[in-house]
Structure formats: structure tokens, C-alpha cells
């Protein structure tokens, strides 16, 4: 048995907007087709061929880059635990297995940092919302990779996330 511990530093990206929390959530839900994605994971478990995977994903994304996997509503459970009215905070897990396959084929360990997660947080001191995520290209196994195909694929994910969140947060 061998155990290693390797420190790493990822980059945290924050988009800030004056848009209300619920507006940002509604826009994000549209971008990742949340209603159409709700049954994705159960259907994904039953696919048997690459063609089925492609058909399932393209049918949900409708040309967009990401689909919805799940969310964790932190404010809901925090309000229950603390008996208070905490500011809204939700973590979304989004992604696209077709995109992930592109870079995982170059280094299976890159799957550690995917699918991406976004944290949508209501501002504490007034109106507005922040959206935070770790820059995929800064995560371990990708940042330190010497594989140009892996770097190219993950940098494209960086660009797609930025473009989507620009649409979500721009007034």
C-alpha cells in the first residue's frame, strides 16, 4: 500500500451581478435545461451504446453545452438547522458526458474534477447574486498535464462555462 498527498491550488471564478437570486436561478435552469434534464441520470444508467448516449444527451441539451445533473440547496437545510432566514445558496452540478469523454480519454484522472459545480449565492449586503466555480483547467491532472489534446479540450470547457455564465448574469 502506498499513500501520497499532493497539494494543489485551483482557481475560483466569481461572476457578480445585480440580478436577483431567483432571476439568476431561472436563467441558469433554462441554460442547462433543468426540466428536460431531470430524468437524465436514471436514463443514463440504462444506455448500452455510444449512439444511445449521444442521442440522450443531444436530445436534452438541444444544442447547449451543459445539462443539469443535480443541486444541493444549502440555504434550505441551513434554515432548518439554524431556525433562521439565511441568504439563498444553491450548488448546481452540471456537465456534458460527451465533453467529459473528450478529455478523460487522455487522462482518466481528469474525471476527478468533473462534472463542474456552480454555487449560486444571494448577496449578503443588498440586492444581487454571485456565481462561483472552480476553473476546470486549474484542477489537478489538467493544470499539470503535458498533453496538448487534454489542455485544448479542457480550455474549451473553461470558455463554454464563461460564455454561459455571462449570459446568465448579464442584465
Inside any domain, residue 142:
yes
Q: 18 pLDDT exceeds 70?
A: yes
Does this model's pTM top 0.85? yes
pLDDT of residue 165: 98
Structural domains counted in the chain: 1
Inside any domain, residue 85:
yes
Where does the pLDDT of residue 162 fall: very low under 50, low under 70, confident under 90, or very high at 90 and above?
A: very high
Inside any domain, residue 54:
yes
Cell reading at 24:
439568476
Inside any domain, residue 5:
no
DSSP for 74-102, written as a single string:
HHHHHHHHHTS-PPPEEEEEEE-HHHHHH
Inside any domain, residue 2:
no
- Whichever domain contains 91, its CATH number is 3.30.310.70
**Structural domain containing residue 16:** 12-169
Q: 150 pLDDT exceeds 90?
A: no
Inside any domain, residue 111:
yes
Amino acid at each position: 500500500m502506498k499513500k501520497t498527498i499532493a497539494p494543489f491550488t485551483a482557481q475560483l471564478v466569481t461572476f457578480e451581478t445585480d440580478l436577483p437570486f431567483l432571476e439568476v436561478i431561472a436563467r441558469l435552469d433554462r441554460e442547462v435545461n433543468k426540466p428536460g434534464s431531470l430524468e437524465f441520470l436514471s436514463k443514463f444508467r440504462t444506455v448500452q451504446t455510444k449512439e444511445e448516449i449521444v442521442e440522450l444527451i443531444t436530445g436534452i441539451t438541444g444544442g447547449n453545452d451543459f445539462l443539469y445533473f443535480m443541486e444541493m440547496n444549502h440555504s434550505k437545510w441551513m434554515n432548518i438547522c439554524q431556525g433562521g432566514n439565511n441568504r439563498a445558496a444553491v450548488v448546481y452540478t452540471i456537465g456534458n458526458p460527451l465533453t467529459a469523454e473528450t478529455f478523460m480519454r487522455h487522462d482518466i484522472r481528469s474525471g476527478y474534477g468533473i462534472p463542474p459545480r456552480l454555487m449560486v449565492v444571494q448577496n449578503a449586503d443588498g440586492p444581487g447574486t454571485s456565481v462561483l466555480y472552480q476553473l476546470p483547467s486549474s484542477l489537478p491532472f489538467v493544470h499539470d498535464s503535458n498533453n496538448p489534446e487534454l489542455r485544448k479540450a479542457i480550455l474549451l470547457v473553461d470558455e463554454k462555462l464563461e460564455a454561459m455564465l455571462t449570459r446568465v448574469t448579464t442584465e
